[in-house]
Amino acid sequence: MSHHLALRYTALTDVGLRRSNNQDSGYASSHLLLLADGMGGAAAGDLASSAAVTVIRRADSGTDDDALDRLSEAVDAANRRLGDLIEADPAVEGMGTTIEAMLWDGQRFAVAHLGDSRAYRLRDGELTQLSTDHTFVQSLVDEGRITPAEARYHPHRSLLLRAMLGRDDLEVDYSWLEPREGDRYLLCSDGLSDMVTDDLIAEALAADSIDVAATELVRLALEGGGADNVTVVIGEMVDARAEADSGLSCADGRPHLVGAAAEAPQPRISAEVDLHDSTASLAVDPEELRYAPRPPSRWRALWWAASILTVLLAIGAAGWLAYQWSQEQYFVSEDDGYVAIYRGVNVDLPLLTLKHLESVTDLDVDDLPSYQRDQIREGIEANSLDDAEQIVDDLRDEAAPESSPTPSPTVPTTTPSTAPAVVTQ
C-alpha cells in the first residue's frame, strides 16, 4: 500500500578521469531526488547545475500544494535564476543544464525531465528507462533512422534538443509516477549511461544496499572510461514501518548534496575575488580563474582561440547533420504579424539556426481567434509543405470576418456629423 511507503536515498558523484571539474549537481532527501548536468564551458556548467539544484531543492520543504505544481514552480524559478545569471554576466551566455527530478508527496512522485540525464526504475529485477532523452540521436531513433544500439555510439549523441537555458522557451516533461514497495529509482548523468550498459546498471542497482549500488555504478563508469562527470542519485521505496537501517548513509535523515552544488560556484563577475590575496587565489580552481577579471595574457588568448576553434568544428559537424534532418520538417508560425510557413524545426539551439522562412501569407495573426493566435506564436508543426499549407487554409477559415476575402465595402458617411469637424492643420 502506497501510504505505508517511505523513501530511502543516496547521492554520489565523481569528476571522472578526463575532466578537471565537476559540472554535475545532485541532491537526495526523504522527499526529493534531483540531478542536474551542467553545460556551457568548464566554469559555467557548474554554475548552471548548481544554481538549478539550489533553487529546485526548495520544493523539498513540503507544503500541502500539489507536488507537480510545486515542482514545476521550482523548475520555472530555476530557469529564471539562470536567466538572471546570464543577464548579469554575458560571459556565461549559453550555459545550461539538464534536469531530472522526482518529488515524493507520500503517495506518488511528481517527475520532471529535461535533457539527456536519465531516470530508471528497477522493479522485480527488471530495469526500465523512464525518461526519453531530448537529444538529436533520440529523434533519429524515434523516426526509425537509427537503432538504439547505433545511437549509443553516435558521434553526436550529446547534442541536446532541449535543456534549461534561462530562456522563455523552457519545455519540460512532467509526469506522475506510482511507486511500489521494493522499487529502486536511479537518476544519472550521461557520464554513467554513456559508459555503462543497461544490463550492468541493472545488476549494480540491485546491490544489497543503495549505498553499495551507488558506489558500484560510479566504479563501473570509471572502469568504462570515465570520460565525463558521473553522478547517481538513488531512491528506494521501503515499508515506512520497517526499522531504519542505521548502516545506511541516509540514516541520519539529512539530505545529500553532491557535485557542483556542494561546492557552491558563484557568479564570477559579481563575486568579490581579491586577486591580490595569494591565499584566496590558491583556493580557487584554475578553471574558475578563466572567468575572474584579470588582464589577458598571450597564453590565454591562444587557449581561447584553440577552444573556440574546437567548439566551432564540433558545432559544424553536429550542425550539418541536424540541418539535414531539420530541412525535411515544416512548421507554421508568424513573421512580422502575418502567418508564415517555415522550413526546419521550431527549436533554437545555442549558436545554431534550424529554421528558414519558406513563405509569408496575407493572413494577419491578429485576425485569428486567441487560441489559434497563441498556437501560431508557439508554432504548429507540419509533416510536409502540403501539410503546412493545409494548416494555413484551416486557419484562414477560422480568421475573423474582417479578413475574409470578400470584405463588405466601407460605406462613406453621408449623414452630416453633428460633432465639430476635426480640422487638420
Which residues of this protein are in contact with Ca ion, per CB under 5 A?
Answer: 37, 189-190, 228
Smallest distance from the beta carbon of 231 to Ca ion, in angstroms? 8
Smallest distance from the beta carbon of 37 to Ca ion, in angstroms? 4
Which residue type does 103 have?
A: L
Smallest distance from the beta carbon of 24 to Ca ion, in angstroms? 6
Task: Give the length of the chain.
Answer: 425
Q: What is the helix, strand, coil percentage profile of the chain, to 5? A: 35, 25, 40
Smallest distance from the beta carbon of 13 to Ca ion, in angstroms? 11
**How big is the CA angle at 410 (ends 407 and 413), to the nearest 5 degrees?**
165
Question: Please, what's the b/e burial string for 185-205 (b: 16 or more CB within 10 A of its CB; e: otherwise)?
Answer: bbbbbbbbbbbbeeebbbbbb
- For residues 165 and 174, give the distance between their C-alpha atoms in angstroms, rounded to a whole number: 18
How many CB atoms lie under 10 A from the CB of residue 122?
Answer: 22
Q: Which CB sits closer to Ca ion, 25 or 54? A: 25
Q: What is the largest CA-CA distance in the chain?
A: 94
Smallest distance from the beta carbon of 115 to Ca ion, in angstroms? 9
What is the SS3 assignment for 9? strand
Q: Which three cell numbers stand for residue 110?
A: 511528481
Q: Which CB sits closer to Ca ion, 35 or 238? A: 35
**Residue corresponding to grid cell 578563466:** 290
Q: Which CB sits closer to Ca ion, 235 or 259? A: 259
Q: Which CB sits closer to Ca ion, 248 or 315? A: 315
Q: Which CB sits closer to Ca ion, 19 or 121? A: 19
What is the SS3 assignment for 290? coil
Q: Which CB sits closer to Ca ion, 54 or 189? A: 189
Q: Which CB sits closer to Ca ion, 8 or 118? A: 118
Q: Which CB sits closer to Ca ion, 16 or 319? A: 16
Please state the separation of Cα 419 from the chain's center in Å: 60
Smallest distance from the beta carbon of 43 to Ca ion, in angstroms? 15
Smallest distance from the beta carbon of 125 to Ca ion, in angstroms? 28
**How big is the CA angle at 156 (ends 333 and 381), to the nearest 5 degrees?**
15
Smallest distance from the beta carbon of 86 to Ca ion, in angstroms? 20
Smallest distance from the beta carbon of 113 to Ca ion, in angstroms? 15
**DSSP of 372-394, one letter per residue?**
HHHHHHH-EEESSHHHHHHHHHH
Its sign, for the CA torsion 306, 325, 146, 126, is positive
Classify residue 219 by burial, with Cβ atoms within 10 Å: 0-12, 13-18, 19+.
middle
Which phi and psi angles does 299 have, rounded to 5°? -60, -40
What is the SS3 assignment for 363? strand
Q: Which CB sits closer to Ca ion, 46 or 183? A: 46
